[in-house]
Amino acid sequence: MASVVYPTTNLAATEQLNLVRGDGIYVFDDKGNRYIEGMAGLWCTALGYSNSELTQAIATQLDTLPFAHSFGGKTHPALMELAHRLSAMVPVEDAYIFFGNSGSDANDSHFKMLRYYFNAIGKPEKRKIITRERGYHGVTVAAGSLTSLPVNLAHFDAPVEDLNILRTDAPHYYTGRKGNETEAQFVDRILQNLEEMILAEDPDTIAAMIVEPITGASGVIVPPEGYYEKLQALLRKHDILVWADEVICGFGRTGNDFGCTTMGIKPDLMSFAKQLSSAYFPISAAVIPGWMYEAMIEPSNQVGVFGHGFTYSGHPAACAAALKTLEIFERDKVFEHAADVGDYFQALLRETFEDHPLVGEVRGKGLIAALELVSNKTTGASFAKGAAGAAAQKACEENGVILRAVGGNALAFCPPLIITRAEVDDMIARVKTAVDHAYDTLK
């Protein structure tokens, strides 16, 4: 056993799978077994595992300028070009971008920039952030406190109390509905809860609300029709900014460029990582609107610097990886491909699993989806301790597909965006065999 504190792993049962190579949508373990990477790693390897254009772009950058920082106004061509390109792509007015290395640090950077901004405009009391139950926003101190998943909070004394975080309902009708309430009634009820909390806290003390357009780690929750429209109207009414965490949804995953496009969200702030570089090099982007940037100039001038930055902010190899990724996305029409195969995938998934006795709900959009595994299809009753999720994940692996049980008993899918219809057929056939097997063992 290697002396590694493995992340998000049961430390009593480490080293389950040793991967040695990848090719297209496949990865191979040290025993020569091949798996479809049905999760694109951790929702991230958009272009699959053997894209030599990407590795070449990174190698060329490393040969030319392996490191440059961007403190004190220093810059380099790949950084400027990437900022230019990304800023032109995102649905944020006159976008400015703070680069980092992970989704967590993008969210921590936003957390700090929001305080910086509201201090700058003379509203220091506007500092609370609303997050949702079942949200996942990373694991650093601020992002980890915005996360609501029990496993990420337990034993860490999280959320950190002084961070002024407010929590509201998860927009999941299937698990959150009361009695025979309709979807529309469910939406109205949870948004009424939210408004009551906003009024009780005082809207002048609330800076922003963070949302994953479609959640990932909590089980791929797709909010009901009408939810975001009403949510945004409510937030605008109370002058609360909309902060979209696009770390999973960004760049083609949901059938459009961004999750915000798919779900009809008009964000003020956006967080990106993962697919921005197809995960070939760590990079994140915290996007803010021009009016926020303008307000941050004066305080930085007073102090002499905007005192936030990482050694690897705008790392040249990371910028080169992201630039090449965005170029391939555009040139090869990867988002259009993902939308087309995504429609096919969603239809086949529903056809295959909607009537399955172990499956309570099939949900998703584009190339992200989940099966909610239930012990009673009529009542939607769940299995304790994620037993069905764990059994199905294991059976999938035995059938040559890597999927991930998340949020208890949801079996999540998030394959590379380059997956073909034939590969989708193969993946779903294998998962069907695995879910049948899990059902037999759980009966």
The least CB distance from residue 426 to ligand PLP, in Å, is: 26
The least CB distance from residue 43 to ligand PLP, in Å, is: 6
Task: Give the long-range contacts of residues 81-85, CB within 8 A, separation 24 or more.
Answer: 81/319, 81/323, 82/314, 82/319, 82/322, 82/323, 82/326, 85/323, 85/326
Q: What are phi and psi of 349, to 5 degrees?
A: -60, -45
User: What is the number of other CB atoms lying within 10 angstroms of the CB of residue 357?
Assistant: 13
The least CB distance from residue 123 to ligand PLP, in Å, is: 26
Q: Taking the C-alpha atoms of 288, 292, 298 and 303 in order, what is their torsion angle to the nearest 10 degrees?
A: -40
The least CB distance from residue 7 to ligand PLP, in Å, is: 9
Binding site for ligand PLP (CB under 6 A): 42, 102-104, 107, 136-138, 212, 216-217, 245, 247-248, 273
Q: Which of 169, 168, 148 is nearest to 158 (CA)?
A: 148
Which of 76, 137 has the CB closer to ligand PLP?
A: 137
Are 361 and 344 in contact, with CB atoms under 8 Å apart?
A: no
Which of 284, 399 has the CB closer to ligand PLP?
A: 284
The least CB distance from residue 44 to ligand PLP, in Å, is: 8
* Residue tagged 């049948």 (tokens): 436
Which of 104, 109 has the CB closer to ligand PLP?
A: 104
Which of 279, 326 has the CB closer to ligand PLP?
A: 279
**133-149 burial string, b = 16+ CB within 10 Å, else e?**
ebbbbbbbebbbbbbbb
The least CB distance from residue 247 to ligand PLP, in Å, is: 3
Residue nearest to ligand PLP (CB): 103
Which of 138, 255 has the CB closer to ligand PLP?
A: 138
Which of 224, 259 has the CB closer to ligand PLP?
A: 259
Which of 143, 235 has the CB closer to ligand PLP?
A: 143
User: What is the number of other CB atoms lying within 10 angstroms of the CB of residue 392?
Assistant: 29
The least CB distance from residue 112 to ligand PLP, in Å, is: 16
Are 373 and 409 in contact, with CB atoms under 8 Å apart?
A: yes
Dig out the tokens for 437 from the structure: 């097997």
The region, left, alpha or beta by phi > 0 then psi within -120 to 50, assigned to residue 94 is left
Radius of gyration of the chain (CA): 22
